[in-house]
Chains A and B, each alone.
Chain A
Amino acid sequence: MELKELIQTSGEWLRGTGPEADIVISSRVRLARNLADFPFISRATPQDRVQVERILRNAIITSKVSADLLYVAVDELEGVDRQLLVERHLISREHAEGQGRRAVAIDKAEKFSLMINEEDHLRIQVMQSGFNLRSVWEQINAIDNAIEDKVTYAFHERLGYLTACPTNVGTGMRVSVMLHLPALVITRQIEKVFRSLQKISLAVRGLFGEGSQAMGDFYQISNQITLGRSEDELVQQVNDIVPVIIDYERQARQFLIKESQENLHDRVSRAYGILRTAQTISSEETMHLLSSVRMGVNLGLIPDLRIADINELFIHTQPAHLQKRTGGELGSADRNIERARYLRQYLSREDGANRAEKN
């Protein structure tokens, strides 16, 4: 498997299937682990990094966590390829922009990725489409066990798994769900939801994680606390709160329909119209309009489109994906033209395909 094959596909977490997939884009768990006999990344020499990378690469490959694994030396990649991996959520921004020897191992279905030499020596993440945290936790636990058979993790009797930042110590675990909450944004209730989440120490972030903005009405909700609770409890905490938020979002959607079905239908149809006809369009506007269209599809206002297609468009209209497809570096103005061209082509193709199916 090669990196360029990625742009032909869209990865597990964009499939648009699984429980509550209209609102829950994906479920994700990540574990932070460090080798016991090396300094953390901030004090690691270039030789330390090379050794850590070699040890973990061997451990990952020999533990056979996947039959078809793509192993990428991130420090040897071009900027656009690193960005491509960020856009697909396979590596973090920090990993893309970091320095020194670092790598990522990705399974072919893009269900999981293992970052080496990010903030911690090893960051394992497993992602799945829809609301399915239990299953994600079971998968990542198995991967963690398989690797742990080959290496010795830094572990403290009382404090648990030791991490470079004390905010991750203990389980080293972050449980998160990516939610699409356009109706809560339109009805201006989203801030209220965030405040109540913060009170129970859950964090809210944008589409690309820490420090990123909530583009396209996507919000990532995750646990803040990692110590003093078991992994099951951490999964349960997020598991319990998600249905409540889903319910709020559904109520807000029903409210919008009841209040003015015409206004909502108009908003959605205009968004769809612009996406199908624009000649130049920014990433921000695309996300904004796709968000309306996505809600429209879920409410049956746009019958011809599938959720999986819209999920794909959210990622395939990002800068690195556009540039990989055209095969060259594009400035921002050219990207906007290319993005509009891609959207027109994709959406008219969808129309055609669906009409053909119906006939």
Chain B
Amino acid sequence: MAAALAQQVQQMAIGQTAEELAHLDQQACPVCGITFYEFRSQGRLGCPHDYVAFQTQLEPLIMNVHGESEHVGKRPRRTPGSSEQRTQLIRMRREMKEAIENEHYERASELRDHIRRIETEQAS
């Protein structure tokens, strides 16, 4: 499946200039930080928000694989509510990790408190 996907990604590249490709490759998801190039080489996305962040790049790929672009099947009975808040959590956990790595401990502890607040809100 991964090989088939790589092939699809290659095919998609045809018809785009090297410059356009390089630009698309460098785009990064603001939530998880993965670049489109990284996705292309691994065949795996980094987080749910990638489907939004890389919409331009993924759309032709998805059409190629499935021949369709709209889900018609089952839906969760409870929808994710504010999906904004959900992806925010992914982003903040990443920022917290980076803050710790860069020894910005004050920022890290702010983020930690914020994350906990959202997690408790969601749990209740």
A residues sitting closer than 8 Å to B (CB atoms) are 34, 36-43, 45, 47-48, 119, 141, 144-145, 148-149, 152-156, 158-162, 164-167, 169-171, 173, 201, 210, 224-231, 234
B99 within 8 A of A: no
Complex Cα distance A173/B79, Å?
19
* Inter-subunit contact A145/B77 (CB<8 Å): yes
| Interface residues on chain B, number (Cβ under 8 Å) | 46
Kindly report which residue of chain A lies nearest to residue B5, judged by CB atoms: A167
B90 within 8 A of A: yes
Chain A residues positioned under 8 Å from B15 (CB to CB)? none
Residue-wise, chain B 28-67 has the 8 Å CB interface mask toward A (1 for contact) of: 0001111000000011111110011000001001100111
Chain B residues positioned under 8 Å from A169 (CB to CB)? 51, 62, 66, 71
Chain A residues positioned under 8 Å from B46 (CB to CB)? 39-40, 42-43
Complex Cα distance A48/B89, Å?
11
Chain A residues positioned under 8 Å from B45 (CB to CB)? 40, 42, 164-166
Chain B binding surface SS class: loop
User: B19-27, B80-88, B102-110: which lies at the A interface?
Assistant: B80-88
Q: B1, B77, B83: which has the most chain A beta carbons within 10 Å?
A: B1
B74 within 8 A of A: yes
B residues sitting closer than 8 Å to A (CB atoms) are 1-2, 4-5, 31-34, 42-48, 51-52, 58, 61-62, 65-81, 83, 86-87, 89-90, 93-94, 97, 122
Complex Cα distance A200/B16, Å?
30
Task: With A36-B83, A40-B46, A43-B33 as known contacts, state yes or no: A229 contacts B73, CB within 8 Å.
Answer: yes
Task: With A37-B89, A39-B46 as known contacts, state yes or no: A158 contacts B83, CB within 8 Å.
Answer: no
Task: With A153-B76, A154-B80, A231-B73 as known contacts, state yes or no: A225 contacts B66, CB within 8 Å.
Answer: yes
* Inter-subunit contact A153/B80 (CB<8 Å): yes
Complex Cα distance A242/B72, Å?
24
Kindly report which residue of chain A lies nearest to residue B1, judged by CB atoms: A167
**Could you list 27 examples of A-B contacts with CB < 8 Å?**
A36-B83, A36-B86, A37-B87, A37-B89, A37-B122, A39-B32, A39-B46, A48-B93, A141-B74, A148-B76, A149-B78, A152-B76, A152-B86, A153-B76, A155-B76, A155-B79, A156-B52, A166-B51, A167-B5, A167-B65, A170-B66, A201-B67, A226-B66, A228-B68, A229-B72, A230-B72, A230-B74
